[in-house]
Structure formats: C-alpha cells, structure tokens
C-alpha cells in the first residue's frame, strides 16, 4: 500500500477515542492484560452512535486523529498495525508508523451514516462506562479508507488529490 491508495477494509477493527486511549495506556503501564488483542489490531478513532430504540449503529464517523498522538507511539510499540481517523499526524507518529511498518488510514469525515452501514456486527469490549467512547469491536465489510501515511512513512500530499471544476 502506498500513500494515496484507496483501500476497502474487511474484517475486525476496534474503536477508541481519547478517554479509552488514556485507560489503555494506564493498563499497559501497570503491565496488566488489555481487554482485546492489541497485536496487529487496527484502531478506528470513532465514537459510534447507537439508536436507543433499535440498537442499530446509526453513525460511525472518524474523529480528529491528532488528539491521540500522545498515546499512539506506545500503542504502536505494543503491536497495533493500523490506525483510522481524519486529519494530520505529528512527525513523531509518522516516524513511529514507519519504524513499526504500520499504516494510518483516513476515513471521510462527515460520512458517519455511510460508514455505519459498512459495520455488520459490533460489541463493546471495554470501558462500557464511557458510553460512546467505549471500545467497540466492529466487523466491517467494504469499509472505504485512504492510505494517508504508509509503512515507509510517506504522507499523502495535496499533489495526489484530484481537483475538479464544477
């Protein structure tokens, strides 16, 4: 995969936002087992919205990734292989992605309803008390993303974007 490639993800990913990241790092610092297998995991920076009446996931858009930068390197050190969010990453995270041969994907912001429709199953695996910031295990089918930082540390630039005149 190269920066700029469109990819379609199929399989299991995990959601985690700010509060969940903080708790994961605290667990790791105490050398306790994590609530899910972190090695080779893909973490999606999202706080899905679930309908109280139907139990259906109605939106699952990405949140701003840079808010997780303080936690990302330790998670990459633990074996995380992919991250999904929106927005840019720090140079330290970019270098850590390269070092660990991990990938940062971008999902389209504002497309939460469309992305939720690509989630076929979900369950909470940790921190239920955090509500929408709990960690969810998601089974996704045809989940569209773009490679924003590839395993060589190359970053998607504006030059790869297509501009159209309407």
Residues annotated catalytic, as ranges: 21
Distance in angstroms (rounded) separating the CA atoms of residues 160 and 70: 28
CB 87 within 8 A of CB 107: no
Give the helix/strand (H/E) hosting 16: none
- Of the CA atoms within 13 Å of residue 110, those in its CB half-sphere come to 1
- Which contiguous run of DSSP H or E holds residue 112? helix 112-116
Q: What residue has token string 């700010």?
A: 18
Distance CA 62, CA 71 (A): 17
Please state, in angstroms and rounded to a whole number, the distance separating the CA atoms of residues 136 and 128: 9
């Amino acid at each position: 995969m190269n920066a700029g490639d469109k990819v379609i993800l199929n399989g299991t990913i995990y959601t985690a936002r700010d509060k969940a990241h903080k708790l994961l790092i605290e667990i790791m610092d105490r050398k306790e087992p994590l609530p899910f297998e972190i090695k080779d995991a893909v973490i999606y920076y999202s706080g899905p919205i679930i309908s109280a009446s139907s139990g259906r996931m109605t939106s699952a858009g990405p949140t701003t990734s840079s808010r997780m930068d303080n936690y990302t390197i330790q998670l990459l050190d633990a074996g995380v292989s992919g991250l999904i969010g929106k927005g840019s990453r720090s140079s330290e995270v970019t270098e850590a992605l390269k070092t660990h041969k991990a990938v940062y994907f971008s999902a389209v912001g504002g497309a939460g309803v469309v992305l939720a429709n690509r989630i076929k199953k979900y369950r909470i695996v940790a921190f239920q008390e955090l509500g929408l910031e709990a960690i969810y295990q998601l089974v996704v089918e045809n989940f569209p993303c773009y490679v924003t930082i590839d395993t060589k540390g190359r970053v998607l630039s504006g030059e790869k974007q297509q501009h159209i005149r309407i």
